[in-house]
């Protein structure tokens, strides 16, 4: 079991560690992703600016050239235009590569009033139809604007180029031609292809129709992006929507590697893209996980080591503790044997009617011995509980006999002081229960003894209720209330701690060890229950113990064979006494009537209106007389209190406390007149014809037992060995 516990603790530590790695992983992943997104957006923006600068320059040249052509040249003269174009191209060419121009200028040409003219004097072959060329079409499609063609290959040089073109209009607004400039996109392409934010990454460019115009994989050039995969299609859908740019879409890119891509639309309608291999995208994350895991494993190993060590020490100390407890248990057992001899022998001496002074000494020895035995029993119990040897021994038992025994044992505790003892038990408690009767008796006696010990005047009440909590299982709720010294709020927590006695200034002269309540708590727990306490300092306390018991049939512990048809009358003037009496009857579904005055009660007795009449003993004489006057009198029952005898023969008496079980016996007629038996301390009983064999391995014990039993006149044999 212990190893299991370390296992659970270790499992917990490991799970906590993995949870931590997982949480950190997601957090860092988030941060990294954001960082990469920002870096990508930055790179794309820079690319856009660079491209903007390049194309802007071409646009300026176009605007300037169209202005100069229109104003300075006579339209239609091929040589004139050619001269102008050559000169102008030269000027641009010289500027190209210098500080102000970086566009990769190649050629300046155009189609003017039906003639194709190039700055290099290139003579177009017949197959070359300017109106079908992309630069011409682009310019015509975008009147008054500078147009850009898609990427194409120069027919002469084979270079990848684009053209910038613009339609020309005369002062009357009549279209008369197109001026165009071819620029190499080598520089741009290099720049774009090398666009990258992580190792293995690359850049791309797409035209307005989302066909690749720059891509490190030449097979992709001219292909439409949407055709490659579902995710490519997704990108084109997003770009065509309002958004115009995308973030972190995974696609299969160059070399069939998974790439994380970003796209952005440029000012001229083209798109620039950036791809980063998934591996480098998450590289930071792997590093982080690795570092975190390494740190965590060191930490977890350390914790595990400490846990295992701590646990080993705990197991060691628990074993030591157990052996201490079992030593104590053995010792207590050993001490009990000679204690029995001391008690037995002192009892025997007292029975022999010794001289008064000897009797006094011996009775002091006997009392001290009894207290010592009680303490030893408590220590024995606690040691058993601590060493795990306390085992319940459940058997079937009768609830009524348990409760009668306990009341018989406890009610003499109230004989010498003004404390009234009340009992109320639930009549529905099944007559036969299954549980450890001895241990329940111990709980009841402990709580009632405490209540008796700590109550100088007032009352002590025992209430037992039951509640079914499962198949064949019920909960007994045992409440013990008193009007005693009470317990301070601050002390309530300490109550169930071993060897704790509270409020010693008030407890002076009261014997105790502080072991009773811890034992009770442990017994309750062993019976799937618990104990709680409520107290008001100076006013009294209520202890409530709950324990589970088994049962097989619901036959009630207290029930009437026949309800009293003419009813029950009571004369009891003290409210609390009446309340408990009434409760006992209500448990049996009988609602009694209360006689308001003794006179009313006597008159009703004479008239014989009731089946039963209960009266407290102080009105016994008058009541007996009244019954005598009635030919068919009710059953008169005199309620006798502790210490009171009764001088009336043939009159039913019931000894307080009265509760549902004794009440049922009286009303059923099964125990009328017998209730006082419990006051007789000495048994007047002999059995001369019975033979008894007493076996014990200690000779003194045999001697004591034999002497104690001699009073019964039996034939007694003793034996030192069971075999
Ligand atoms: P003991 O009675 O032998 O001292 P217990 O464990 O039974 O030991 O009780 C512990 C302490 O709790 C007692 O010393 C007493 O201070 C307090 N106590 C228990 N029962 C009551 C009660 N009914 N009224 C007031 N104090 C109580």
Integer angstrom CA distances of residue 300 from 6, 14, 309, 401: 14, 7, 14, 60
When pLDDT is averaged across residues 413-425 and rounded to a whole number, the result is: 90
Please indicate whether residue 204, judged by its CB atom, sits closer than 6 Å to ligand 1: no
Q: What's residue 329's pLDDT?
A: 73
**203 pLDDT tier (thresholds 50, 70, 90):** very high
**107 pLDDT tier (thresholds 50, 70, 90):** confident
When comparing pLDDT for 566 and 72, which is higher?
566
**Most distant pair of Cα atoms in the chain: their distance:** 165
Q: Ligand 1 centroid vs 346 CA: distance in angstroms?
A: 30
Please indicate whether residue 503, judged by its CB atom, sits closer than 6 Å to ligand 1: yes
Q: Ligand 1 centroid vs 501 CA: distance in angstroms?
A: 6
When pLDDT is averaged across residues 675-695 and rounded to a whole number, the result is: 64
Residue 457: is its pLDDT beyond 90?
yes
**Tens digit of each residue's pLDDT (9 = 90 or more) over 35-84:** 888 888 888 888 888 888 877 888 888 888 888 887 766 555 666 788 88
Instruction: Indicate which residue's Cα is closest to atom 23 of ligand 1.
Output: 451
Q: For residues 590 and 452, what is the distance between their CA atoms, to the nearest angstrom?
A: 31
Please indicate whether residue 517, judged by its CB atom, sits closer than 6 Å to ligand 1: yes
Residue environment code for 589-611, b if the CB has 16+ CB neighbours within 10 A, otherwise e = ebebebbeebeebbebbeebebb
Per DSSP, the residues of 341-363 read: HHHHHHHHHHHT---HHHHHHHH
Instruction: Find the helix or strand (DSSP H, E) in which 507 lies.
Output: helix 504-507
**Tens digit of each residue's pLDDT (9 = 90 or more) over 296-325:** 888 888 888 888 888 888 888 888 877 877
Residues counted in the chain: 723
Q: Ligand 1 centroid vs 463 CA: distance in angstroms?
A: 19
Please indicate whether residue 333, judged by its CB atom, sits closer than 6 Å to ligand 1: no
Closest ligand 1 atom to 480 CA: 23
DSSP state of 225: G
When pLDDT is averaged across residues 467-495 and rounded to a whole number, the result is: 93
Q: Ligand 1 centroid vs 381 CA: distance in angstroms?
A: 17
Instruction: Indicate which residue's Cα is closest to atom 3 of ligand 1.
Output: 512
Q: For residues 59 and 55, what is the distance between their CA atoms, to the nearest angstrom?
A: 6
Please indicate whether residue 460, judged by its CB atom, sits closer than 6 Å to ligand 1: no
Residue 19: is its pLDDT beyond 90?
no
When pLDDT is averaged across residues 332-347 and rounded to a whole number, the result is: 83
Per DSSP, the residues of 40-89 read: HHHHHHHHHHHHHHHHHHHHHHHHHHHHHHHHHS-TT-HHHHHHHHHHHH
Q: What's residue 675's pLDDT?
A: 40
Please indicate whether residue 675, judged by its CB atom, sits closer than 6 Å to ligand 1: no
Contact residues for 723 (Cβ-Cβ < 8 A; gap 6+): none
Q: For residues 213 and 202, what is the distance between their CA atoms, to the nearest angstrom?
A: 14
Contact 176, 187 (CB under 8 A): no
Residue 34: is its pLDDT beyond 70?
yes
Residue 666: is its pLDDT beyond 50?
yes
What percentage of the chain exceeds 90 in pLDDT?
Answer: 25
Please indicate whether residue 451, judged by its CB atom, sits closer than 6 Å to ligand 1: yes
Q: For residues 95 and 99, what is the distance between their CA atoms, to the nearest angstrom?
A: 8
Q: Which of 179-183, 250-254, 429-433 has the highest mean pLDDT?
A: 429-433
Please indicate whether residue 479, judged by its CB atom, sits closer than 6 Å to ligand 1: no
**Tens digit of each residue's pLDDT (9 = 90 or more) over 489-520:** 988 888 888 766 776 666 666 667 778 899 99
Residue 682: is its pLDDT beyond 50?
no
Please indicate whether residue 544, judged by its CB atom, sits closer than 6 Å to ligand 1: no
Residue 673: is its pLDDT beyond 50?
no
**Tens digit of each residue's pLDDT (9 = 90 or more) over 533-552:** 999 999 999 999 999 999 99
Q: For residues 348 and 707, what is the distance between their CA atoms, to the nearest angstrom?
A: 7
Closest to 151 (Cα-Cα) out of 136, 141, 161, 159: 161
Please indicate whether residue 653, judged by its CB atom, sits closer than 6 Å to ligand 1: no
Please indicate whether residue 540, judged by its CB atom, sits closer than 6 Å to ligand 1: no
Q: Ligand 1 centroid vs 515 CA: distance in angstroms?
A: 9
Q: Ligand 1 centroid vs 502 CA: distance in angstroms?
A: 7
**Tens digit of each residue's pLDDT (9 = 90 or more) over 351-406:** 888 888 888 888 888 888 888 888 888 888 887 787 777 788 999 999 999 999 89
Integer angstrom CA distances of residue 491 from 382, 504, 533: 21, 12, 11
Contact 251, 235 (CB under 8 A): yes
Please indicate whether residue 507, judged by its CB atom, sits closer than 6 Å to ligand 1: yes
Q: What's residue 99's pLDDT?
A: 35
Residue 187: is its pLDDT beyond 50?
yes
Residue 24: is its pLDDT beyond 90?
no
Q: What's residue 62's pLDDT?
A: 86
Q: Which of 26-30, 158-162, 553-557 has the highest mean pLDDT?
A: 553-557
Please indicate whether residue 558, judged by its CB atom, sits closer than 6 Å to ligand 1: no
Residue environment code for 625-659, b if the CB has 16+ CB neighbours within 10 A, otherwise e = ebbeeeeebbbbbbbbbbebeeeeeebbbbbbbbb
Instruction: Find the helix or strand (DSSP H, E) in which 116 lies.
Output: strand 115-118
**427 pLDDT tier (thresholds 50, 70, 90):** very high
């Amino acid at each position: 079991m212990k190893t299991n516990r370390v296992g659970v603790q270790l499992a917990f530590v490991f799970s906590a560690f993995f949870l931590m790695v997982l949480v950190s992983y997601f957090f860092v992943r988030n941060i990294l992703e954001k960082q990469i997104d920002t870096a990508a957006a930055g790179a794309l923006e820079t690319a856009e600016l660079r491209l903007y600068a390049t194309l802007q320059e071409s646009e300026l040249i176009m605007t300037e050239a169209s202005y100069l052509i229109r104003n300075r040249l006579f339209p239609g003269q091929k040589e004139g235009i050619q001269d102008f174009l050559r000169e102008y191209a030269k000027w641009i060419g010289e500027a190209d590569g210098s500080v102000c121009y970086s566009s990769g200028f190649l050629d300046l040409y155009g189609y003017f009033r039906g003639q194709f003219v190039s700055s290099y004097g290139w003579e177009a072959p017949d197959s070359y139809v300017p109106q079908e060329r992309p630069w011409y079409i682009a310019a015509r499609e975008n009147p008054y604007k500078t147009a850009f063609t898609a990427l194409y290959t120069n027919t002469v040089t084979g270079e990848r180029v684009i053209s910038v073109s613009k339609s020309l209009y005369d002062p009357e607004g009549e279209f008369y031609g197109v001026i165009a400039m071819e620029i190499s996109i080598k520089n741009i392409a290099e720049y774009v292809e090398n666009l990258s934010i992580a190792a293995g990454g690359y850049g791309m460019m797409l035209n307005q129709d989302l066909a690749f115009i720059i891509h490190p994989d030449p097979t992709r050039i001219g292909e439409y992006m949407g055709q490659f995969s579902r995710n490519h299609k997704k990108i084109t859908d997003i770009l065509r929507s309002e958004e115009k740019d995308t973030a972190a879409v995974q696609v299969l890119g160059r070399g069939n590697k998974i790439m994380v891509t970003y796209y952005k639309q440029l000012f001229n309608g083209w798109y620039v893209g950036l791809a980063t291999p998934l591996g480098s995208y998450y590289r930071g994350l792997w590093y982080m996980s690795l570092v975190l895991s390494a740190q965590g494993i060191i930490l977890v190993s350390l914790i595990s080591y400490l846990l295992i060590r701590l646990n080993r020490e705990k197991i060691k100390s628990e074993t030591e503790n157990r052996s201490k407890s079992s030593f104590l248990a053995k010792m207590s057992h050993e001490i009990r044997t000679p204690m029995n001899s001391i008690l037995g022998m002192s009892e025997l001496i007292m029975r022999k009617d010794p001289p008064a002074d000897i009797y006094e000494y011996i009775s002091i020895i006997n009392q001290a011995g009894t207290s010592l035995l009680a303490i030893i029993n408590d220590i024995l119990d606690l040691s058993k509980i601590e060493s795990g040897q306390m085992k319940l021994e459940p058997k079937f038992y009768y609830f009524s006999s348990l409760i009668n025994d306990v009341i018989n044992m406890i009610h003499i505790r109230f004989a010498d002081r003004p404390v009234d003892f009340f009992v109320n038990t639930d009549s529905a408690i099944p007559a036969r229960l299954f549980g450890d009767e001895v241990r329940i008796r111990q709980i009841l006696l402990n709580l009632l003894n405490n209540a008796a010990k700590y109550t100088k005047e007032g009352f002590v009440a025992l209430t037992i209720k039951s509640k079914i909590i499962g198949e064949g299982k019920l909960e007994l709720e045992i409440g013990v209330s008193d009007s005693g010294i009470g317990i301070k709020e601050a002390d309530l927590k300490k109550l169930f701690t071993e060897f704790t006695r509270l409020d010693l200034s008030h407890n002076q002269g009261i014997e105790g060890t502080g072991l009773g309540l811890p034992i009770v708590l442990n017994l309750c727990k062993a019976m799937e229950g618990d104990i709680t306490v409520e107290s008001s300092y100076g006013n009294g306390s209520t202890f409530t113990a709950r324990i589970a018991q088994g049962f097989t049939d619901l036959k009630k512990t207290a029930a009437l064979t026949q309800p009293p048809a003419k009813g029950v009358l009571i004369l009891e003037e003290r409210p609390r006494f009446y309340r408990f009496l009434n409760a006992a009857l209500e448990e049996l579904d009988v609602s009694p009537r209360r006689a308001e005055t003794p006179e009313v009660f006597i008159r009703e007795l004479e008239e014989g209106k009731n089946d039963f009449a209960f009266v407290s003993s102080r009105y016994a004489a008058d009541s007996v007389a009244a019954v005598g006057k009635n030919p068919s009198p009710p059953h008169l029952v005199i309620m006798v209190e502790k210490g009171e005898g009764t001088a009336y023969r043939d009159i039913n008496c019931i000894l307080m406390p009265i509760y549902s079980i004794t009440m049922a016996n009286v009303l059923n007629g099964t125990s009328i007149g017998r209730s006082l038996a419990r006051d007789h301390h000495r048994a007047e009983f002999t059995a001369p014809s019975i033979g008894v064999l007493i076996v014990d391995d200690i000779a003194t014990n045999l001697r004591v037992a034999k002497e104690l039993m001699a009073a019964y006149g039996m034939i007694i044999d003793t034996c030192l060995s069971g075999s």
